[in-house]
């Protein structure tokens, strides 16, 4: 069975490589959107003669936007588009009778896209840390790897659920964009979460979205104390468990709906 999934992964990877040029252009374009913030904050720091703003010095804020955008790009999947499209075209019903798990095959397809980005993301992170001279420990790196895996699973499950909404709305494209906008803001991609007013920050810090950008990027640049690393890992595992459980129930419900409307 595992060889079947491996074959599926290889096919998906080849498919993505065929559109590599387009894919890389898109990745660079999306990253640049966040990287432009470096110019904005440089002007703010220099203009206001600030050395730190909310525990971020200028080097850290520059590194935050580069590393944060790279990580955000890496963990983002396109499960929602795959599932939504499959729902629309009636492919889900066909997939359900195949000797393959539909859920796993969707995850493998989007994973092949993320894996293509991994080398560039690692190079970007390495050069950013080297260039800025920010010191990161082995413990930080291991914590970030664990958090990124948890965040990746959370975002994949959430996007899979969003794609499944197509059963109610005929297309989940709009909800997907809305979700992306929400995690961009609440995940800290457009700004570190500590910059938010304290009452907003207190609420945002209870949500799992901070694991998508803010927590891993802040750990790597050393703006989060190492004593809290274990807390963030358990916090992520807690949310992963909840979201996986809700996702499981939701998908079982959706599956019944698919068969009832004939695919």
Partner 1 sequence: MELIENIKYFLLCQKYHWKELFVYRSQALVWLIVGSSILLFTYLPVTIIYNVSSGIPGWTYFQLLLLSSTSGFVMELVWYFVLPWGIVNGMRVGEFDKYLIRPFGKVTCMLSGYAGNLVGSTGVIGSLFLIIYCLINLNIQIIPIVIFFVSIIIGIIALVMVFLLITILSYKLMNSANFTNNLMNLSLSANTYPLNIYGSGIQLIFTLILPIGLAVYYPTQVLFSMTTPLFTLILIFVFAIIIIITKIGFNKLIKSYSSGGG
Alpha carbon distance 180, 191 (integer Å) = 15
- Say how many C-beta atoms besides its own lie within 10 A of residue 220's C-beta: 24
Nearest to partner 1 of 62, 105 (CB atom): 62
Q: Which stretch binds partner 1 (CB under 8 A): 89-97, 142-150, 166-174, 221-229?
A: 166-174
Residue 44 interacts with partner 1 (CB under 8 A): yes or no = yes
Shortest approach of partner 1 to residue 228 CB, angstroms? Answer: 22
Run of H or E residues at 44: helix 20-48
List Cα–Cα distances, 82 to 89, 105, 162, in angstroms.
11, 10, 11
Residue 59 interacts with partner 1 (CB under 8 A): yes or no = no
Sort 214 into a burial class: Cβ within 10 Å, 0-12 / 13-18 / 19+.
buried
Alpha carbon distance 74, 97 (integer Å) = 32
Among 6, 15, 39, 245, binds partner 1 (CB under 8 A): 39
Nearest to partner 1 of 34, 232 (CB atom): 34
Residue 255 interacts with partner 1 (CB under 8 A): yes or no = no
Alpha carbon distance 69, 114 (integer Å) = 14
Q: Which stretch binds partner 1 (CB under 8 A): 1-9, 151-159, 185-193, 251-259?
A: 185-193
User: Length of the chain in residues, anyone?
Assistant: 263
Among 11, 17, 36, 237, binds partner 1 (CB under 8 A): 36
Among 190, 205, 207, 233, binds partner 1 (CB under 8 A): 190
Q: Which stretch binds partner 1 (CB under 8 A): 115-123, 174-182, 215-223, 225-233?
A: 174-182
Among 9, 81, 195, 251, binds partner 1 (CB under 8 A): 195
Residue 178 interacts with partner 1 (CB under 8 A): yes or no = yes
**Region for 55 from its dihedrals, namely left if φ exceeds 0, alpha if ψ lies in -120 to 50, beta otherwise:** left
Q: Under a CB-based contact definition with an 8 Å cutoff, are residues 150 and 233 in contact? A: yes
Nearest to partner 1 of 140, 176 (CB atom): 176
Residue 183 interacts with partner 1 (CB under 8 A): yes or no = no
Q: Report the Cα 239 to chain-centroid distance in Å.
A: 14
Residue 40 interacts with partner 1 (CB under 8 A): yes or no = yes
Here the contacts of 147-150 (C-beta below 8 Å, separation 24 or greater) are 147/211, 147/215, 147/216, 147/219, 147/232, 147/233, 147/236, 148/71, 148/74, 148/75, 148/216, 150/211, 150/233, 150/236, 150/237, 150/239, 150/240
Site for partner 1 in 3-32 (CB under 8 A): 19, 21-23, 25-26, 29-30, 32
Nearest to partner 1 of 8, 53 (CB atom): 53
Binding residues for partner 1, per CB under 8 A? 19, 21-23, 25-26, 29-30, 32-33, 36, 39-40, 42-45, 47-48, 50, 53-54, 168-171, 174-175, 177-178, 181-182, 185, 190-191, 195-197
């Amino acid at each position: 069975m595992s060889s079947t999934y491996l074959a599926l992964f290889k096919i998906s990877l080849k498919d993505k490589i065929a559109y590599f040029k387009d894919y890389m252009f898109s990745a660079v374009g999306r990253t640049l959107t966040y990287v432009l913030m470096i110019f904005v904050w440089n002007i703010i720091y220099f203009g206001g003669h600030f050395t730190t703003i909310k525990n971020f010095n200028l080097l850290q804020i520059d590194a935050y936007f580069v590393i944060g955008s790279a990580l955000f790009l890496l963990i983002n999947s396109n499960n929602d588009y795959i599932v939504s499209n499959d729902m629309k075209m009636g492919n889900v019903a066909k997939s359900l009778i195949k000797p393959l798990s539909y859920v796993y095959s969707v995850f493998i397809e989007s994973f092949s896209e993320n894996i293509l980005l991994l080398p560039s993301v690692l190079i970007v992170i390495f050069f950013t840390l080297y260039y800025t001279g920010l010191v990161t420990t082995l413990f930080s790196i291991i914590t970030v790897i664990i958090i990124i895996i948890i965040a990746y699973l959370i975002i994949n499950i959430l996007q899979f659920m969003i794609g499944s909404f197509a059963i109610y709305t005929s297309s989940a494209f709009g909800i997907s964009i809305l979700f992306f906008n929400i995690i961009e803001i609440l995940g800290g991609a457009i700004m570190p979460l500590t910059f938010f007013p304290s009452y907003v920050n207190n609420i945002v810090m209870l949500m799992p979205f901070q694991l998508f950008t803010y927590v891993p990027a802040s750990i790597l640049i050393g703006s989060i104390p190492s004593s809290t690393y274990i807390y963030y890992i358990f916090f992520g595992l807690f949310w992963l468990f909840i979201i996986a459980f809700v996702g499981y129930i939701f998908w079982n419900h959706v599956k019944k709906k698919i068969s009832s409307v004939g695919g």
